[in-house]
Structure 1
């Protein structure tokens, strides 16, 4: 059996205020073409189908078109909900979808698989939707953390599998121990502190399809994250986009091969003095990319976004990160103002506050001295 493992589509997510719907549609159309090309039997989507609990109408249209396209390409589809999804809204579609498309969002049904047979017999697919411990106390009162609810869910999977026998695939949306998250991107799945799920919790199935982390990762040969099909942040720029093509034979897991997906627009981060970034001919290759610029000038530059977009039309983010920032002053601005003993020191305190630690340079001090002296002279004449 051939299984395509994908996740974290985040339909409806924006990229620094720009819609990603059209770009994602193109990528999912390519994924559908891969399903047909590689004669995939089952496509598994491991959560975060939508980016929000209340997606816009166009998001539902893209999901419906994609699921129909995959089914038309000859594959069954199994979808679970993630922490971004509304399980109720995603699950509402389950009864409306055609045969061969399964949307699993009910925690009470975790131990009941979707069984799909091939020439070697049945394969049981156990969908574990995102499990919020606080909302599951009526089912599993002893499970008060992500690790505990996943352990409980996998226990139900193993119990059911012991009776049914055969090969198995489990699908879950969580932080597994040992993964490398993208900073400031994946929402924490926590109960109290950082709540990771030990890898031992996932034992007992032939393949573990994980979602939530946006970069592909292999935790064990048969335990993997597929990542997201689009770059949704500049922190993902070095992470490839794609999905895992998983092979099962009569004995279980054989191999998983990475299938690349196209990148509609590359994501790059450029760093250096603003003038250098604007003038360097080497940056010509980034004219059509999403660009983040971290400019290292000592002082903030005037209107940097407008100037950068004249060179990089898709510049979406500008950050001032002075290369020679002044040492941090633990005092608050109010404390520095109160400590000022002269007008010159008061102006210096203000400049340090608004220029990230950089006070007046020698030329500016000369100008300030002239201005303050002139003010004293005028006041004396009044």
Structure 2
């Protein structure tokens, strides 16, 4: 590798996370797309002379992954190893720690899988020309589960009653006490790999659906003070909470809410003194995600179709009335239309009036029918053609009553 590419001596780390192998996308498999992206990740490891790849949790999307998910994981890990890197993987909240841990026993030397919370304080030691670097894996820690282990039992504190761990903030703080104890016993530069929701992250960057609100599961970023680099997982968009504490995000877009987020990983150089120099490596996007908003006819316009026929499409049409078979018609133009939503453009005045208010203000039967239609159709009253039909029906009724 040339000095122009690698200007800093020391250990080079590639930080990735949240692969979610096995997750679907609106009923479609993502295994093929993820395999393509992970192949690109392997190429980046080789091209950038990476020493260590860290995968910060949520390797699988399910606690019971299908057989092909294990095959993809094995292929990816072996590919990273063949590219010349050591690999360290931790488990996340979506993973089954037991199943992922079982996988570890089947893998070759140089691939480390950390799933047991009882080993949090035991470093994986790798070395470069400047000496050892201690890697501490912190798998996802559920307080109700890990507090049964002796290392996570209530700790005696001067002047205070020992209390069991109840929040993830308390649990991760305890884990970091174990890490610091391990680091005191085995001095050196330090890297922590953890899966949690750290305070200070932007809450719009693709939070996991299980995260509770109100700060219950937030972990203060200060918990990680004193560590040279902290590789986090759990958030699907990249974030740099500090120069030393970062999220890499997911390598694929798993929802339309993530469509504008870059996909990639952090390339981190750790020098002899533990100083960090980080840069972003983009990963390819196998199929772009776009949201198209407008009337149904506008979304089906030739210009939009030409620009987005090969993209994953979320179509939001704003017509007053629902369309007939909108998904079928959209997929004739957009084969990869995954989601269709009807969001009529309703004026604030119409929306703010209740059905009762509209009904009380109606004088004629035609106005009453129009008020009912507006109520059941999100503010969209009768169209001009519907008004003609309503008048015909009402006129026929009046004529019939007159003939009786």
8 A contact 1:7–1:226 mirrored in 2: yes
| Residue 95 of structure 2 is aligned to residue 85 of structure 1 | yes
1:243-298 CA-to-partner distances (Å, cap 9, x unmatched) read 11111111113301111111101111111112112115155221211111112222
Q: Distance in 1 between matches of 2:326 and 2:397?
A: 34
Change (3 A) 1:185 1:347: farther
The residue that corresponds to 1:328 in the other structure is: 351
8 A contact 1:182–1:214 mirrored in 2: no
Indicate the larger mover: 43-52 or 275-284. Answer: 275-284
1:314-353 paired onto structure 2 within 5 Å: 314-325=336-347, 327-328=350-351, 347-348=369-370, 350-353=372-375
| Residue 391 of structure 2 is aligned to residue 369 of structure 1 | yes
Which residue among 159, 170, 174 is the counterpart of 1:148? 170
Indicate the larger mover: 348-357 or 338-347. Answer: 338-347
The residue that corresponds to 2:191 in the other structure is: 169
Q: Distance in 2 between matches of 1:365 and 1:322?
A: 19
Q: Distance in 1 between matches of 2:120 and 2:347?
A: 53
8 A contact 2:229–2:276 mirrored in 1: no
Q: Distance in 1 between matches of 2:271 and 2:207?
A: 36
5+ unaligned residues in a row in structure 1: which ranges?
Answer: none
Q: Distance in 2 between matches of 1:319 and 1:341?
A: 35
The residue that corresponds to 2:22 in the other structure is: 12
The residue that corresponds to 1:231 in the other structure is: 253
Q: Distance in 2 between matches of 1:183 and 1:222?
A: 19
CA RMSD between the two structures: 2.6
1:208-263 CA-to-partner distances (Å, cap 9, x unmatched) read 00001111111111111101111111111111111111111111133011111111
1:8-31 CA-to-partner distances (Å, cap 9, x unmatched) read 001011111111101100110111
5+ unaligned residues in a row in structure 2: which ranges?
Answer: 1-10, 155-163
Q: Distance in 2 between matches of 1:174 and 1:347?
A: 54
Indicate the larger mover: 340-349 or 318-327. Answer: 340-349
Q: Distance in 2 between matches of 1:254 and 1:264?
A: 31
8 A contact 1:2–1:40 mirrored in 2: yes
| Residue 110 of structure 2 is aligned to residue 100 of structure 1 | yes
| Residue 209 of structure 2 is aligned to residue 187 of structure 1 | yes
Aligned length: 381
8 A contact 2:355–2:372 mirrored in 1: no
Q: Distance in 1 between matches of 2:38 and 2:123?
A: 26
The residue that corresponds to 1:210 in the other structure is: 232
Which residue among 263, 288, 296 is the counterpart of 1:274? 296
| Residue 275 of structure 2 is aligned to residue 265 of structure 1 | no
8 A contact 1:144–1:191 mirrored in 2: no
Q: Distance in 1 between matches of 2:54 and 2:271?
A: 17
Q: Distance in 2 between matches of 1:263 and 1:249?
A: 32
Q: Distance in 2 between matches of 1:137 and 1:338?
A: 62
Q: CA deviation at 1:96?
A: 1.7
Q: CA deviation at 1:125?
A: 0.7
The residue that corresponds to 2:69 in the other structure is: 59
1:67-82 paired onto structure 2 within 5 Å: 67-82=77-92
Change (3 A) 1:337 1:52: farther
The residue that corresponds to 1:249 in the other structure is: 271
2:219 counterpart SS class? coil
Change (3 A) 1:168 1:279: same
Give the TM-score normalised by structure 2.
0.87
The residue that corresponds to 2:157 in the other structure is: none
1:229 counterpart SS class? coil
8 A contact 1:288–1:313 mirrored in 2: yes
| Residue 297 of structure 2 is aligned to residue 287 of structure 1 | no
Change (3 A) 1:109 1:340: farther
Change (3 A) 1:169 1:353: same
Q: Distance in 2 between matches of 1:336 and 1:163?
A: 75
Give the TM-score normalised by structure 1.
0.91
Q: CA deviation at 1:60?
A: 0.5
Q: Distance in 2 between matches of 1:82 and 1:205?
A: 21
| Residue 133 of structure 2 is aligned to residue 111 of structure 1 | no
